[in-house]
């Protein structure tokens, strides 16, 4: 428990440092992991996909945009964090495994179209289905590596700790205009509404 608190504190401190420079957060950068940038343009492209999947803007367009941006960046960060956590345990999720999982899911739901519609209802754009499946497979592998079922509270806690460790190892820095990375919830939490941020 103390270890998780320490990891969470380290991640919060890393996010705070994002405002101070010296962390790779150059203009046009949404986040940096192990020196590799996630550009704002990549976040904007994912937001466009999410907005199309959701069927357009809601009545509160500013609040909707805020949530979509934060979700988009969370997904992009998790792609790298999960891959690192999996690699740190000497396991891997290859392209062939992702393709096989997609075939299984398509068979389950009656084809590529029905699967895309089901995942769209969960906020997964068609262009990001393979990324989504890779994340899900990675999470299952992390739980299994710890001898746990990812669907149980113990398995979920183990996966979250593994992801927190990976984020720390990657020296995750998030541009503070997007919020603060929360290790316990494994997501970005808002600080200031994005439309009010400088």
> 198 lies in a domain?
no
Q: What is the pLDDT of residue 22?
A: 55
Q: In the block, which residue shows the tokens 């919020």?
A: 179
Q: What is the pLDDT of residue 20?
A: 41
> 168 lies in a domain?
yes
The C-alpha angle 68, 74, 77, rounded to 5 degrees, equals 140
> 54 lies in a domain?
yes
> 127 lies in a domain?
yes
Q: What is the pLDDT of residue 58?
A: 47
State the residue range of the domain holding 166: 2-183
The model's pTM is 0.79
> 193 lies in a domain?
no
> 86 lies in a domain?
yes
> 28 lies in a domain?
yes
> 191 lies in a domain?
no
Mean pLDDT by 10 residues, the chain (198 residues): 40 39 80 96 93 62 74 94 95 95 98 95 92 96 91 91 94 93 87 50
Q: What is the pLDDT of residue 13?
A: 37
As for how many domains the chain has, the answer is 1
Q: What is the pLDDT of residue 11?
A: 40
């Amino acid at each position: 428990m103390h270890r998780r608190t320490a990891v969470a504190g380290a991640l919060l401190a890393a996010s705070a440092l994002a405002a101070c420079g010296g962390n790779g957060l150059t203009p046009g950068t949404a986040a940096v992991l192990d020196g590799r940038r996630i550009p704002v343009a990549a976040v904007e492209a994912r937001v466009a996909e999410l907005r199309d999947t959701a069927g357009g803007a809601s009545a509160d367009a500013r609040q909707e945009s805020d949530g979509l941006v934060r979700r988009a960046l969370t997904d992009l960060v998790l792609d790298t964090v999960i891959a690192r956590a999996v690699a740190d345990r000497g396991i891997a999720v290859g392209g062939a495994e992702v393709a096989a999982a997609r075939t299984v899911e398509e068979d389950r739901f009656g084809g590529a179209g029905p699967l895309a519609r089901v995942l769209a209802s969960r906020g997964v754009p068609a262009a990001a289905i393979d990324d989504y499946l890779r994340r899900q497979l990675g999470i299952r592998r992390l739980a299994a590596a710890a001898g746990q079922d990812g669907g149980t509270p113990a398995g979920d806690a183990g996966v979250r700790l593994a992801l927190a460790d990976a984020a720390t190892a990657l020296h995750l820095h998030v541009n503070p205009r997007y919020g603060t990375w929360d290790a316990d919830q494994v997501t970005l939490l808002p600080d200031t509404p994005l439309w009010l941020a400088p």
